[in-house]
Structure 1
Amino acid sequence: MKISASLYSSKDTPLPQLMQELDNLHIDYIHIDCNDDLSVFDDIEEIRTISRTPIDIHIISDDPAKFYPALQKHRPELVTFQHENLRGPLPPLPVGVKSRIGVAFVSDTPIEAFEHYRPLCSFVLFMTTVPGQSGGQFDQDTFQKIRQFQERYPGTRIHVDGGVNDEVSFILRNMGVYCSVSGSYLMQAKDKPGALLRLRSPYIEGQYRVRDFMILRHELPVIAESDANDLRQLLVCVHESRQGFALVADADGKLAGIVTDRDIRAALIKHLDDLEAICSSDLINPRPVTVDGDSTIGQMLELIRDCPFPIRFLPVVDSDNTLIGAIAFNNLIKGEL
């Protein structure tokens, strides 16, 4: 996951010194909040003379067109427009603007608002705090909004801004978020290298529970135990989910097993000389490793580290083994690319 350092969250360090610090950290983007203020392009002009780090500008204005000449001149790599401040449709961008364009939404805006921006925008920025203000608290409901957006607009990159600390960063990476903006956590840290390392760390402990960011049950490929004897139906469930697994639940909603791509391959190898002999019991692992929904991130990671084999999918259950969700770790890998 890319990290965009919010420039104006650091108020006391001279710009040349601050840019040298950030360049030494090999930060991915410089995030600049533009609260209807053309003078921020003076800072961008200065940054261009001392750094090659890409610029990520967030324009918060009801008159975005007045910024178009400056965008043509300074060519920031990323430009985001705040949806709630626009008085109508975004005016057509001039030909000279070559930036990747995105739109920002506050927490209360439904994800369906992105529909109007699809032809223009290659990414969305979810604001979890007040746009343009530093030091806010992350809005936990953003986790669900990210999942809903991914389901409705697959392939569109997701950026997140507001209250991102090391723990939130780990969760966002696991969810496949492309970029997070770090304000006070990084920019006001006395040890910026240490703060950046924690933002990218795979070992995190904190307040969030697995149930806070898991994939919810209704979003998962789940097949009833009574239907799992139908081999074709079981295989189709795994294939059509495009997640590489399917979960089996009994009539009471309790987890009865998991089928993964690996299980399917193992069954094929076992019965290679007689494929007709394959049955559902060859595919279903009735005792998969699971994690309790109330486990912390640290407890979940300890469970994974203690497991003697790699884990790509982790069913989430409650105290009586009722299936409530799952964690898929493929996004952690994709999020680092």
Structure 2
Amino acid sequence: MLVSGSIFAVKDNFLNYASQLKFAKADYLHIDLFQNDHDFKLEDVLIFDKSYLPLDVHLIYEEITGDIIGVINKSTAAYLTVQYENMKNKDLCIKAMKKFKGGIGIAIIATTDIEMIEKYINDINHVLIMCSEPGVSGAKFNDKCYELIKTVRNKYPNLKIHVDGGVEANIAETMNGMGISMVISGSYLAKNLDSLHKSIYNLKYSNENNISVKRNMIKFPQLPVIKSNTKFFDVITCINHGKIGCCFVVDNSKLLGIVTDGDIRRAYLKYGKNVFDILASDIMNIHPFVVSSSATIADIHEHLVENGKWWIRIVPVIEDDLLIGVAKL
């Protein structure tokens, strides 16, 4: 389950908190925007450049125009959600939102009739269910929302559901079981910044501390594998077919190194027009982070946070010195 950390769970030092969320391995940075809020303006989303997490923007607006979407499109926003109850001309707002570059959604409160989803089902990527008052950090989770979530899930089984409002570890465990795609969390994450990464882990993995790396491991026969003498063009082909952003250089199942998309880009810069003459051995990372088959997902999470390797999503799993698969975070 994805985790979006709400920026307004803190009262100041927003950029610092945004950085902390990134290095603690949150997935998105959630920003609530009110139309008449003069403290945090629409254009302020642009201060969160690519050095921060991608944005998850929640508009509590009466009107949405192409100009508004234009500003958000200049940001790193991956999701844009509008509060249904606040929109005056809902059809025009949704029409304008369709110009957004990423996934769009509608946020609803517990008392809103979900039949309205039907009208916009082919326009939206997700529905955000507000389980507390929109824009209020620290509010308690409304237990009535459990039934609302079940109803939406049963009626629209292929629609992504995001949940916001009072989400903490125990509630996240239930959300995970209900197939929620993403939870937005504010005060739960911000209340103890020294253990922020542990709080994020608890939300993502429902407080289960002993998830083996082998549970959802991509096994060796399914991995994109090459030899050290594989030519550059064939390395690119292997990565493309593997669809996980890298390939593994092996010899009789022993891992020699990894070649990632980033290694490919760096090779172009280093070798220029001669790049197609090089081999996998010339560009592979011979010291990748790996874990033993006895490790847990919590072990990986802790290591990556402590070492600032927030970007890693694929971790090779080694058993008896042989590559047996990869843990996909």
State TM-score, norm by structure 1. Answer: 0.56
Runs of 4+ in 1 over 6 A off after TM superposition: none
CA contact (8 A) 2:84 2:90 kept: no
In the alignment, which residue of structure 2 is the partner of 1:18?
17
Report 1:164-179 matches (<5 A). 164-179=167-182
CA contact (8 A) 1:75 1:99 kept: no
Deviation of 1:151 (Å): 1.2
CA contact (8 A) 1:79 1:102 kept: yes
SS in 1 for 2:48: helix
In the alignment, which residue of structure 2 is the partner of 1:142?
145
Deviation of 1:75 (Å): 5.2
In the alignment, which residue of structure 1 is the partner of 2:198?
194
SS in 2 for 1:74: coil
Against the structure 1 CA distance between its residues 80 and 96, is the aligned structure 2 distance closer, same or farther, given a 3 Å change threshold? closer
Deviation of 1:196 (Å): 1.7
State TM-score, norm by structure 2. Answer: 0.58
Number of residue-to-residue matches in the alignment:
204
Partner Cα distance (1:94, 1:185) in 2 = 30
Report 1:303-314 matches (<5 A). none
In the alignment, which residue of structure 2 is the partner of 1:131?
134
In the alignment, which residue of structure 2 is the partner of 1:155?
158
SS in 1 for 2:161: strand
Against the structure 1 CA distance between its residues 170 and 159, is the aligned structure 2 distance closer, same or farther, given a 3 Å change threshold? same
In the alignment, which residue of structure 2 is the partner of 1:57?
57
CA contact (8 A) 2:2 2:204 kept: no
Report 1:1-337 matches (<5 A). 1-12=1-12, 14-36=13-35, 37=37, 39-48=40-49, 50-51=51-52, 53-65=53-65, 67-74=68-75, 76-91=77-92, 92-93=95-96, 96-190=99-193, 191-203=195-207
In the alignment, which residue of structure 1 is the partner of 2:251?
none
**Amino acid in the other structure paired with 1:32:** I
Unaligned runs of 5+ in 2: 209-327
Deviation of 1:116 (Å): 1.8
Against the structure 1 CA distance between its residues 95 and 166, is the aligned structure 2 distance closer, same or farther, given a 3 Å change threshold? closer
Unaligned runs of 5+ in 1: 205-335
SS in 2 for 1:48: coil
Work out which of the two has the higher radius of gyration on C-alpha atoms and give 1 or 2. 1
Against the structure 1 CA distance between its residues 79 and 202, is the aligned structure 2 distance closer, same or farther, given a 3 Å change threshold? closer
Partner Cα distance (1:10, 1:90) in 2 = 34
**Amino acid in the other structure paired with 2:136:** Q
Partner Cα distance (1:75, 1:23) in 2 = 14
Deviation of 1:69 (Å): 2.5
> RMSD of aligned C-alpha atoms?
2.2
